[in-house]
Structure 1
Amino acid sequence: MHPRSSLTVLAAAAALLTTATTATAATEPVSRAQVAAHFDLDAEQQPENITVDRDGSAYLTFSFARQIARVSPSGRTHVLATLPAPEKANTPNLGKAFVGGIARADDGTLYVTYATGTAELTGVWAVRPGGRPRRIAALPADGLPNGLALDRRTGRIYVTDSVHGVVYRVDARGGRATVWAEGEALRPSTFAGANGLKLHDGAVWVTNLDKGTILRIPVPARGTAKRIQVHATGMPSIDDFAFTGRGDTLLAARDDNEVDLVRPDGTHTAVLTAADGLQTPTSVAVHGHTVYVPSAAYLTNKDPNLLVAHLDR
């Protein structure tokens, strides 16, 4: 990173931590947890997923509002785009339209998953800076596309389907999505299976919400995935996650109001809880020494927000 960019990131993180509302507790290596932005529950501004820009701006999906929003380093929220509403949503498990995972390309294009229960709208959508949302790949209407990650090196997008329990792959330029990984470890047992998704160290990493697991799927040079490795277990209601920048150590959001530190050996410890301001946390982003945790308030029905905290490396 360019030194000037480093200074910009540090200044942005400091601004968020300074303007935030102080909370009460956190556990090493996370500290100084504070709520940086509050969202409008009545407007269904419930943040599902997050990606962070170089300057510390957070890009969020508001799942049921069908919106993509930016939260500036000062904590100001600006809605960038609203995805078109289906004539009649019939999304599996949810009933209503749902915007899920988000990733940002180097040119500023934002990619998101959209589930509506309709063939016309369900799939992967892209929003170029200043442009309108457009669908670049269709996905099965009877599924629930959820987590999303962009491989900037290959230009491929990976997407989880929480109902079908698979991982799709599609070209970021658009086209036909194909099933890249499938198997019992990805399938749901009661409600939702494959959920959060990240690319890290030559592998696709996926959570299974129902089974409380984190999975590692090596990316072969060609073709579809062959092996699914169980990296961690015993994490009920696990959603999305982010790597801390130290090997395979990661932070995972759980719907039961926890963010867990997961070590390379798979052991895990809660480092953030409801005492810090979590309200059904859904995802995590790590940028420099700052941790970002959106809370959608799906289960608490109170104060959807964006929490920030300091990460001691």
Structure 2
Amino acid sequence: MKKKLATIAGAATAVAVVTLAAVTVAPASAGTAPVVKTRIAAHFDLAQGQMPENIALDPNGTAYVTFAAGRQVAAVTPAGRTRVLATLPAPADGGVNTPVLGFALTTGIARAHDGTLYFLYASGTEDLTGLWRLRPGGAPHRIAALPAGGLPNGLALDERRGVLYIADSVLGTIFTVPAAGGEPTTWSSAAELAPAGFLGANGLKIHDCALWVTNLDKGTVLRIPFLPGNGPGPVRTRATNLVGIDDFAFTGNGDEILAALNAPNTVVRIGGNGSVSTVLTAADGLQNPTSVALRRDTAYVPSAAYTTATDPNLLLARLPHNR
């Protein structure tokens, strides 16, 4: 595990180096927004690879997270109790052929209204890499194979149409897969999704008749409208200069989002006009935040501690003026 943690730390350090080279930091993040209250809801076991990479919520406030290096999916109750729901099989080669990172990891997660969990696994092998499903009380199984040479990362579920959208950070591609499972289809491989030395397309959300995507290397938030028939329209850049941007959530206030900036150790609020203000920092307990989920006025922020290597955790922040 020590060797694995060193590999993860080296990879995450590369995130910081590459993104700092690729984008310019916005001056002073354009301000700081007040937070009413923050607390650490759960601390995770770094030695066991419990580095939360992505999050989905149920209506009662239970958080479902993927533990990247642990190859696990877990539930964290509102009281802060953590229960591992599934551990995925390790690849025969130990994951050394996983592109860029060199270790197998669970990444994006989405929850359907019936409690079914969908999540992504990147192993560098054809037999395991892909989209997995876990029904309540069941066992996990793969419902779609994805390219072993890629790194499936961000995941968004369009439950009304029965489609999942998958961002591959290495291939710079967004795939679609039916919620019932099946063959993946390339939805977009626009140039704006490509990496610039490390990881490209990352977080995904469906909002306002469009798919919104972050590009980690380029520090951008992108909007791709759905055309008739649900094909992709032209890519529009909605925000820039966001060093180390990972996944994000819409606040309910128009196009405003909260985004996790991994290497800078911050969560920022990005207005519909692209303005940026800092909401949370390391002083609040962030340890390389990876994603954000919102339940009413509370933000749930998982921190993976990839480079801090101190305290992977789940932070809750009560935000003012949030719907």
Pairwise same-fold verdict (TM > 0.5): yes
From 29, 42, 51, the equivalent of 2:47 is: 42
Aligned to 2:36, the other structure's residue is in SS state strand
The answer on whether the counterparts of 1:181 and 1:226 sit within 8 Å (CA) in structure 2 is no
How does the TM-score come out when normalised to structure 1? 0.90
From 60, 63, 69, the equivalent of 1:58 is: 63
Question: Which letter does structure 1 place at the counterpart of 2:174?
Answer: V
Deviations 1:243-295 (A, max 9, x none): 01111100000112010100000111111000000000000000111100000
The answer on whether the counterparts of 2:33 and 2:277 sit within 8 Å (CA) in structure 1 is no
Specify the alignment match of 1:100 in structure 2. Answer: 107
Question: Which letter does structure 1 place at the counterpart of 2:280?
Answer: L
> How far has the Cα of 1:183 moved from its partner?
1.4
Specify the alignment match of 1:305 in structure 2. Answer: 313
The answer to whether residue 271 in structure 2 is matched with residue 263 in structure 1 is yes
Deviations 1:33-68 (A, max 9, x none): 111110000001000000111001100000110100
The answer on whether the counterparts of 1:125 and 1:134 sit within 8 Å (CA) in structure 2 is yes
Question: Which letter does structure 2 place at the counterpart of 1:117?
Answer: G
> How far has the Cα of 1:111 moved from its partner?
0.2
Structure 1's 241 and 223: CA in aligned 2 closer, same or farther, altered over 3 A?
A: closer
Specify the alignment match of 2:221 in structure 1. Answer: 214
Aligned to 1:30, the other structure's residue is in SS state coil
How does the TM-score come out when normalised to structure 2? 0.87
Specify the alignment match of 1:292 in structure 2. Answer: 300
The answer to whether residue 123 in structure 2 is matched with residue 123 in structure 1 is no
Specify the alignment match of 2:253 in structure 1. Answer: 246
Q: Equivalent residues in 2 for 1:165-244 (5 A)?
A: 165-222=172-229, 224-244=231-251
- In the alignment, the residues of structure 2 paired with residue 30 and residue 207 of structure 1 have an alpha-carbon distance, to the nearest angstrom, of 24
Specify the alignment match of 1:86 in structure 2. Answer: 91
* Structure 1 unpaired stretches of 5+: 1-25
The answer to whether residue 141 in structure 2 is matched with residue 144 in structure 1 is no
> What is the alpha-carbon root mean square deviation over aligned residues?
1.1
> How far has the Cα of 1:164 moved from its partner?
0.5
Bigger relative contact order (CA 8 A; separation at least 6)? 2
Percent identical across equivalent pairs? 58
Question: Which letter does structure 1 place at the counterpart of 2:127?
Answer: E
The answer on whether the counterparts of 2:250 and 2:257 sit within 8 Å (CA) in structure 1 is yes
Question: Which letter does structure 2 place at the counterpart of 1:51?
Answer: A
> How far has the Cα of 1:29 moved from its partner?
5.1
Aligned to 1:129, the other structure's residue is in SS state coil
> How far has the Cα of 1:107 moved from its partner?
1.1
- In the alignment, the residues of structure 2 paired with residue 292 and residue 29 of structure 1 have an alpha-carbon distance, to the nearest angstrom, of 16
Specify the alignment match of 2:163 in structure 1. Answer: 156
Specify the alignment match of 1:75 in structure 2. Answer: 80
The answer on whether the counterparts of 2:33 and 2:278 sit within 8 Å (CA) in structure 1 is no
Specify the alignment match of 2:121 in structure 1. Answer: 114
> How far has the Cα of 1:226 moved from its partner?
3.0
Aligned to 1:33, the other structure's residue is in SS state strand
From 29, 33, 39, the equivalent of 1:28 is: 33
> How far has the Cα of 1:27 moved from its partner?
4.9
* Structure 2 unpaired stretches of 5+: 1-30
Deviations 1:60-101 (A, max 9, x none): 000110100000010110101111111112110111111000
> How far has the Cα of 1:221 moved from its partner?
2.1
The answer on whether the counterparts of 1:205 and 1:215 sit within 8 Å (CA) in structure 2 is yes
Structure 1's 268 and 27: CA in aligned 2 closer, same or farther, altered over 3 A?
A: closer
- In the alignment, the residues of structure 1 paired with residue 122 and residue 267 of structure 2 have an alpha-carbon distance, to the nearest angstrom, of 26
Aligned to 1:185, the other structure's residue is in SS state helix
- In the alignment, the residues of structure 1 paired with residue 44 and residue 284 of structure 2 have an alpha-carbon distance, to the nearest angstrom, of 17
- In the alignment, the residues of structure 2 paired with residue 310 and residue 144 of structure 1 have an alpha-carbon distance, to the nearest angstrom, of 33
Aligned to 2:283, the other structure's residue is in SS state helix
Question: Which letter does structure 1 place at the counterpart of 2:73?
Answer: I
Residue correspondences, number: 288
- In the alignment, the residues of structure 1 paired with residue 130 and residue 226 of structure 2 have an alpha-carbon distance, to the nearest angstrom, of 22
Structure 1's 87 and 272: CA in aligned 2 closer, same or farther, altered over 3 A?
A: same
Deviations 1:82-131 (A, max 9, x none): 11111112110111111000000111110001100001111100001111
